[in-house]
Chains A and B, each alone.
Chain A
Amino acid sequence: MKRGEGRKDTGVLAVAVKDLHKSFGTQKVLNGICLNVATGETLAVLGRSGTGKSVSLRIIIGLEKPDSGSVRIQGEEITGLTIDELGSVRLKMGFLFQHAALYDSLNVAQNVAFPLLHHKREMSKSEQADRVQKLLADVGMEGHLEKMPADISGGMQKRVGLARALILEPDILLLDEPTAGLDPISSGEIDDLVLKLQQEHHMASIVVTHDLHSAKTIANRLALLDDGNVVIEGTFEELQKSDIEFVREFVKHS
């Protein structure tokens, strides 16, 4: 059985964000944002820099606390949870950081194996190594297991980060600008990879990106943020047809 095949859609939303507010000092970043993602669905969150896309993602995985609002992961409210209570929720999620955030003292294979070492202690070393090798092969990094993060390119680091995000077979995948800073070919490869992995693992995904082309390729729905709130949510075609000035400008310049 392929990974993800055993997952059932229970009718509960994978991620439900409601009326989220967040400020840093006097700067208001999120102003009542609402997002819903169902199991197996991919939502791309677009918007200009500083509109709170990455902050939303960090709140969803509990790295930031919102000022007010609700975040439910598979029905469970997480905004009031402590760091230890968040642990069990985070096991259901994989997070790809914008700059990959690989541990610079560990090599590629050790980076990917890190969550396994802490959460799958019942697995033998050889089973863990097999899973790491298979996942690194899936992301096209099979020949680079022993390399250190500093010795591989930005695109390769993103691939390793993606493998690390997937190693615990999460139900929800959060991707923070997976193609930012990459050349068009590497961006296309990452898009194809994300698409392939989503189809294989049937995960709910939220992809934060500036790249409309990438969003169109990998997402079922797109949400465009401005001023800390969702301006429009829908398919790429619906965004194209929108008569909202900001949406038309964004689509035109992307």
Chain B
Amino acid sequence: MEARYSLTRFGAKSLLPAAIVFSVIHETGPIITGLVVSGRVGAGIGAELASMKVTEQIDAIEASAVNPYRLLAATRILACILMLPLLTLAADACGLVMGWFAQALVEPLSLHQFINSGFKGADFNDFLPPTFKTAIFGLIIGLIACFQGMRTQGGAAGVGRAATSSVVLSSLFVILADVVLVKVILIFFP
């Protein structure tokens, strides 16, 4: 609604659907998904593995001649890599529907019209690279959370520290990675 007000002032109200679509699929959807998953999943993985570490469960896995990095870390990192793009699709869909809803509140517009107008001129290069860059976010979140969890020391306080540092570091690195990836995407998909 704020964007609508600004665009109206500059006489570009008709560009609003396209502005919403492009901002959601290019940046807002991927980065918000990355940050939400950093907070929710990063903290969960960090705390779970840290709890297993301080109660010697990870040592017990290793003593059973099973590689805990393969069993616990590799599976979680892979899950993050695979799920982030799918969650981003869901976030994009929600963002577009809510964008249309906000637009429809002030000016009658069907979803069909909104989508047609918004996606006019868009191609796969606008959609695929930003969506699949979130696989890198998943790699970052999984790696940091697993690393923080599996190197924990110091009982319950250590579990808390691992959960906090997982969220803080993965959020920070997701934002940094986004800056780099946007630049890379602009080079390869101008």
- Interface residue ranges, A against B (CB under 8 Å): 58, 61-63, 83-84, 86-88, 90-91, 93, 95, 97-99, 101-104, 114-115, 118-119, 164
Given A84-B67, A90-B62, A164-B60, 6 other A-B contacts at CB below 8 A? A63-B63, A90-B64, A97-B60, A101-B60, A118-B65, A164-B64
Distance of B19 from chain A, by nearest CB (Å): 46
Distance of A168 from chain B, by nearest CB (Å): 8
> Closest 5 CB pairs between A and B?
A90-B65, A101-B56, A101-B60, A95-B63, A87-B65
CA distance A101 to B60 in the complex (A): 6
CA distance A202 to B62 in the complex (A): 24
Q: How large is the interface on B (under 10, 10 to 19, 20 to 34, 35 or more residues)?
A: 10 to 19
Distance of B190 from chain A, by nearest CB (Å): 45
**Chain B 34-72, CB within 8 Å of chain A: the 1/0 string?**
000000000000000000100111011111111101000
Distance of A199 from chain B, by nearest CB (Å): 24
CA distance A83 to B64 in the complex (A): 12
Residues B55 and A63 in contact, CB atoms below 8 Å apart: no
Distance of B55 from chain A, by nearest CB (Å): 6
Residues A63 and B67 in contact, CB atoms below 8 Å apart: no
**Chain B 75-94, CB within 8 Å of chain A: the 1/0 string?**
00000000000000000000
8 A-B residue pairs with CB within 8 Å: A58-B59, A97-B56, A97-B63, A99-B55, A101-B57, A102-B60, A104-B57, A118-B65
- Contacts A63-B63, A87-B65, A118-B65 known; A99 to B57 CB distance under 8 Å? no
CA distance A238 to B55 in the complex (A): 37
Residues A91 and B56 in contact, CB atoms below 8 Å apart: no
Residues B59 and A63 in contact, CB atoms below 8 Å apart: yes
- Interface residue ranges, B against A (CB under 8 Å): 52, 55-57, 59-67, 69
Contact partners of B64 in chain A: CB under 8 A: 90, 114-115, 118-119, 164
Residues B63 and A90 in contact, CB atoms below 8 Å apart: yes
CA distance A164 to B59 in the complex (A): 14
Contact partners of A95 in chain B: CB under 8 A: 60, 63
CA distance A88 to B57 in the complex (A): 20
Dominant SS at the B interface?
Answer: helix
Residues B59 and A83 in contact, CB atoms below 8 Å apart: no
Contact partners of B52 in chain A: CB under 8 A: 103
Contact partners of A104 in chain B: CB under 8 A: 55, 57
Q: B62 — nearest CB in chain A belongs to which residue? A: A63
Residues A88 and B62 in contact, CB atoms below 8 Å apart: no
Contact partners of A84 in chain B: CB under 8 A: 67
Distance of A131 from chain B, by nearest CB (Å): 15
Residues B67 and A97 in contact, CB atoms below 8 Å apart: no
CA distance A90 to B59 in the complex (A): 12
Contact partners of A90 in chain B: CB under 8 A: 62-65
Contact partners of B65 in chain A: CB under 8 A: 86-88, 90-91, 115, 118-119
Residues A103 and B63 in contact, CB atoms below 8 Å apart: no
Residues A118 and B62 in contact, CB atoms below 8 Å apart: no
CA distance A187 to B69 in the complex (A): 35
Residues A61 and B55 in contact, CB atoms below 8 Å apart: no
Contact partners of B61 in chain A: CB under 8 A: 103, 114
Distance of A107 from chain B, by nearest CB (Å): 14
Contact partners of B69 in chain A: CB under 8 A: 83
Contact partners of A87 in chain B: CB under 8 A: 65-67
Distance of B8 from chain A, by nearest CB (Å): 55
Contact partners of A83 in chain B: CB under 8 A: 62, 67, 69
Contact partners of B62 in chain A: CB under 8 A: 62-63, 83, 90
Q: A61 — nearest CB in chain B belongs to which residue? A: B63
Q: A86 — nearest CB in chain B belongs to which residue? A: B65
Q: B59 — nearest CB in chain A belongs to which residue? A: A63
Contact partners of B55 in chain A: CB under 8 A: 99, 101, 104
Q: B66 — nearest CB in chain A belongs to which residue? A: A118
Question: Counting chain B CB atoms within 10 Å of each CB, which of A91, A98, A103 scores highest?
Answer: A103
